[in-house]
A and B are shown apart, each in its own frame.
Chain A
Amino acid sequence: QKEVEQDPGPLSVPEGAIVSLNCTYSNSAFQYFMWYRQYSRKGPELLMYTYSSGNKEDGRFTAQVDKSSKYISLFIRDSQPSDSATYLCAMSASAAGNKLTFGGGTRVLVKP
């Protein structure tokens, strides 16, 4: 069993819809939770960073962490075709910038 599980998709939504992404994990030591966006043949770009449980909102993006369920989510409102990418969740036990464990990534396609 992988430490971090993420549905690979693809997840196809119409433009303007809400994109809902999630990851589950097994390591209760994870304290820092990140969401990255990766375009094809590019490096990942940090979207959201959350420490411990709770919600965090930044523009069209909302990240949620439920440590009791070992479940994290990312919501993208008013999705745009430019949001089409692979979204990776990542976690760390120590600090956000230290050793990260990534999920497999979910490919998202927003259709105009």
Chain B
Amino acid sequence: GAVVSQHPSWVICKSGTSVKIECRSLDFQATTMFWYRQFPKQSLMLMATSNEGSKATYEQGVEKDKFLINHASLTLSTLTVTSAHPEDSSFYICSAYQTQNNEQFFGPGTRLTVL
């Protein structure tokens, strides 16, 4: 299967700082990538759909000014958590859509802890 990477795999930051998470499709181009959030023992909740070269589409209840998404190339999408607070601590997972297989391939996730 196709490979999607995320960086960093984990990050600890102080409250009020911003954190950037990268999502890369390593062996295919992805015009669409997705960002999910997963709290402990809960399922994945879609935060936003990221389309290359255009603005992201955010799900209801997700603050677009807090979670900035940039999809500047066909292999890279970034999620920036601005002014992070402890309640933003979560597991953030991205996926990249491969049109050839009509399948989403998921990254390994980034664990964010905000102190």
Q: Taking chain A's interface residues, is the majority helix, strand, or loop, or is none over half, making it mixed? A: loop
- Chain B CB within 8 A of A112 CB: no
- Chain A CB within 8 A of B91 CB: yes
The number of inter-chain residue pairs (CB within 8 angstroms) is 57
A46 touches B46 (CB 8 A): no
B41 touches A8 (CB 8 A): yes
Query: Which residues does chain A contribute within 8 Å of B46, judged by CB atoms?
Result: 99-101
Kindly state the separation between the CA atoms of A82 and B111 in the bound complex, as whole angstroms: 24
A interface bracket (residues with beta carbon within 8 Å of B): 20 to 34
- Chain B CB within 8 A of A57 CB: no
Task: Mark B residues whose CB is within 8 Å of A.
Answer: 1, 4, 6, 32, 34, 41-46, 49, 91, 93, 95, 97-99, 101-109, 111
Task: Mark A residues whose CB is within 8 Å of B.
Answer: 6, 8, 36, 41-46, 49, 88, 95-105
